[in-house]
Structure 1
Amino acid sequence: MKKSKLTFIIAFVIYSLIHSCKPDKNLKDPLKAGWKGEKVCTILEENDKVRALKCVFSPGVGHEKHFHAAHFGYTLKGSKFKITDQSGTREVNVPDNYSFYNEKIEWHKVLNIGDSTAIFLIIEPK
């Protein structure tokens, strides 16, 4: 293999690895993503170390396709959700007082298919 072709292949692989680790630049973060033009998340606190969001989903309200950086979440009030991500679509009962941590979420979209309003706290380290 010629040296120039090998250099091109190595550069392409490095470029692909770097860009596959970044979220799709067309996706919004959870604050900017909403539902049918309406916000579902508000900022509770933001400083140079953390951003804390409160996200509220009434029955029939969802969260358009978006990504998440590393975050801790806590469900103040749960409900039943339809969640779609790269693994497919599933229905999940999210209980009250449920906590979770994700290193990142490449993308997902959710819809509250339950009969109660769900409230989440999302804490994102910076």
Structure 2
Amino acid sequence: MKSNTTISIFCSLMLFVLSCEEKKSLPDPLEAGWNGQAVCQVLEENAELRVLKCTFEPGVGHEKHYHNPHFGYTLVGGKFRITDNSGTREVNVPTGYTFSKDSISSHEVLNIGETTSVYLIMEYK
């Protein structure tokens, strides 16, 4: 019988491999857009960090893409439909809301609200 440590290491390795495969097959947030139009712009980039400003008018989304570990801040909130590995849900994102991920993640979003929403995303390299 395998030890819990061996099983834990195996599961961690499989999650890492799956994350790397997903990263290879999807665009990053700067490359991803909506209907061929960019939604993010680079505000700052250096050897350790990339800061993006992403703007979503009503009816505009962000095609499925991956994120490196990151921290985000909502400059102007809105209502979104988010689809990720856990399913699809609708969320009201308030102005000033912060979010972060410590691992590679992926999702697709659509602004289903009536106002333009704006985010800062700081990705670690």
Any stretches of 5+ residues in structure 2 without a counterpart?
A: 1-9
TM-score in terms of structure 2 length: 0.84
In the other structure, the counterpart of 2:40 is: 41
In the other structure, the counterpart of 2:4 is: none
Identity of aligned residues (%): 57
Find 2:18's aligned residue among 17, 20, 41: 20
Secondary structure of the corresponding residue to residue 93 of structure 1: strand
Bigger CA radius of gyration: 1
1:117 aligned onto 2:116 = yes
- Are the equivalent residues in 2 in contact too, given 1:72–1:100 (CA < 8 A)? yes
| Pairwise CA distance, 1:19 | 2.2
- Are the equivalent residues in 2 in contact too, given 1:27–1:65 (CA < 8 A)? yes
TM-score in terms of structure 1 length: 0.83
Number of positions where the alignment pairs a residue of Structure 1 with one of Structure 2: 113
Between the aligned partners of 2:117 and 2:74, the Cα distance in structure 1 is 8
- Are the equivalent residues in 2 in contact too, given 1:72–1:102 (CA < 8 A)? yes
| Pairwise CA distance, 1:49 | 1.4
1:54 aligned onto 2:57 = no
Q: Segments of 4+ in structure 1 off by > 3 A?
A: none
